[in-house]
Amino acid sequence: MEGTVFREQMVNFLQAAVVFLLVTNVLSIAATTYAVRLLNGFSGPKRAQGTIERKLNAILQNAS
């Protein structure tokens, strides 16, 4: 009986830890994206973009 309770508690703890890590990763990605967009606004005059950079920017704009 005690072994089953301990096992359930351990599984619940590990699930909570995984959820916590996923949430902190999402927040980190959001903060990084915000900082990059903020810094790109202060980069001065725009230069010509390459093909890959244009495609990545299009993907990012569609995602947000």
Residue-wise pLDDT for 16-36, tens only, equals 999 999 999 999 999 999 998
Identify whether 33 is part of a domain: yes
Phi first, then psi, for residue 37 (nearest 5°) are -65, -40
Identify whether 56 is part of a domain: no
pLDDT for res 44: 64
Write the CB contacts of 35 (distance below 8 Å, at least 6 apart in sequence). none
DSSP H helical ranges for the chain:
2-41, 51-63
Identify whether 2 is part of a domain: yes
The residue segments making up the domain with residue 11 are: 1-44
Identify whether 22 is part of a domain: yes
Identify whether 13 is part of a domain: yes
Select the more confidently predicted residue: 8 or 54.
8
Q: How confident is the model at residue 1 (pLDDT cuts 50, 70, 90)?
A: confident
Select the more confidently predicted residue: 37 or 8.
8
Identify whether 17 is part of a domain: yes
Identify whether 54 is part of a domain: no
Identify whether 61 is part of a domain: no
Average pLDDT on 52-62 reads 87
